[in-house]
Amino acid sequence: MRLDVLTIFPEYLEPLRHALLGKAIEQDIIQVGVHNLREWTSDVHQAVDDSPYGGGPGMVMKPSVWGPALDDVAAGTGPAASCSDLISSVPHRLLGTSSSDAAAPRLGEESPTTKPLLIVPTPAGVPFTQDMAARWSTEKHVVFACGRYEGIDQRVVDDAANTYRVEEVSIGDYVLIGGEVAVLVMVEAIVRLIPGVLGNAASHQDDSFQNGLLEGPSYTKPRRWRGLDVPAVLLSGNHGKVERWRRDQSLLKTAARRPDLLEAAQEAGLLTKRDQQVLDAGTPLEE
Ligand code: SAM
């Protein structure tokens, strides 16, 4: 998968080359380009913003800068052509052992029939979910446009639909200063679902949201810590009982914290009769 990020603060995207994302870069599972939007300015001050039509506080990002920048990132032309991809911060020495996506396009090599995906972070966007992360984890080329100030002139988003499949996305009901942190959030959620990125391919299958519920609590050694014991069932060696206990904990936690998720799971027919008994009892069932 190829990821390109347009921003006026390229250094904000530094975390993309660390830890598991850095390892994915080293393994050539992802290629990441971070582009400084100011390279597409033509004035001496490299201005990317201007005052809003209709008045009001703050500044709006200029279409005359964003338009050419998005055109170049899609086509691999102009300043986008000379951008070096991020290099992994940690030498994992794994190159050549697991390249799951050798067909990922280089910049500008998009298939003419498939438009790249453009994600525009905005608090006014559609809420980002695990389902979207899963869907986008199979994309070949994803471009992120980081807004600042009061956001990007709406015509940029409208016009980009000629070149991209465009999604305006929010990471939550609060307002950040800029889109960079939202991009870090989305990239982590998307990239960890690409085969080969997590050490254990099964490790995201029981995660929260994968089956419509929150995950229950986890424990590790020691068995007793500060007077608190690990639940006995987890030491029983009885896999069936452990699985039922985990399911019960997951159901009860979801009921307490996210009744909206539980309702959706019920409507989707994801709950068994036993699940419903646990929920009605409000406690794990005695075996
Ligand atoms: N005036 C905008 C509004 O009220 O919808 C807020 C602009 S915000 C200060 C500047 C930038 O931060 C946005 O263009 C977007 O890139 C990013 N941003 C802020 N909150 C966000 C959120 N919840 N999700 C995604 N991006 C966000």
pLDDT digits (tens, 9 = 90+) for 69-117: 999 999 999 999 999 999 999 776 555 444 444 445 556 665 556 899 9
How many CB atoms are located within 10 Å of the residue 240 CB? 9
For residue range 121-150, what is the model confidence (pLDDT) as tens digits? 999 999 999 999 999 999 999 999 999 999
Q: Which among 59, 176, 181 is the best mutation to test ligand 1's pocket, defined by most ligand atoms within 8 Å of the CB?
A: 176
Is the separation of the CB atoms in 240 and 284 below 8 Å? Answer: no
What's residue 39's pLDDT? 98
Residue 125 CB partners (closer than 8 Å, separation 6+): 167, 168, 169, 170
Does the annotation count 222 as an active-site position? no
In testing the pocket of ligand 1, which one of 48, 66, 122 has its CB within 8 Å of the most ligand atoms? Answer: 122
Boundaries of every domain in the chain: 2-91+114-192, 224-281
28 labeled part of a ligand binding site: no
Is 175 annotated for ligand binding? Answer: yes
CATH of 2-91+114-192, one of 3.40.50.300, 3.10.20.30, 3.40.1280.10, 3.30.70.360: 3.40.1280.10
**Distance (Å) from CA 172 to ligand 1 centroid:** 10
Tokens of 16: 């993309």
58 CA: nearest ligand 1 atom: 1
Residue 201 is predicted with a pLDDT of 77
Q: Report if pTM > 0.75.
A: yes
State whether residue 187 is helix, strand or coil. Answer: helix
- Adjacent-strand bridge partners of 121: 169
- Looking at 3.40.50.300, 1.10.1270.20, 3.20.20.140, 3.40.50.720, the CATH number of the domain 224-281 comes to 1.10.1270.20
Q: What is the pLDDT along the chain (287 residues), one digit of tens a residue?
A: 999 999 999 999 999 999 999 999 999 999 999 999 999 999 999 999 999 999 999 999 999 999 999 999 999 999 999 999 999 997 765 554 444 444 455 566 655 568 999 999 999 999 999 999 999 999 999 999 999 999 999 999 999 999 999 999 999 999 999 999 999 999 999 999 999 999 887 788 889 998 999 999 999 999 999 999 999 999 999 999 999 999 999 999 999 999 999 999 999 999 999 999 999 999 998 76
The yes-or-no answer on residue 192 being catalytic is yes
pLDDT at 202: 79
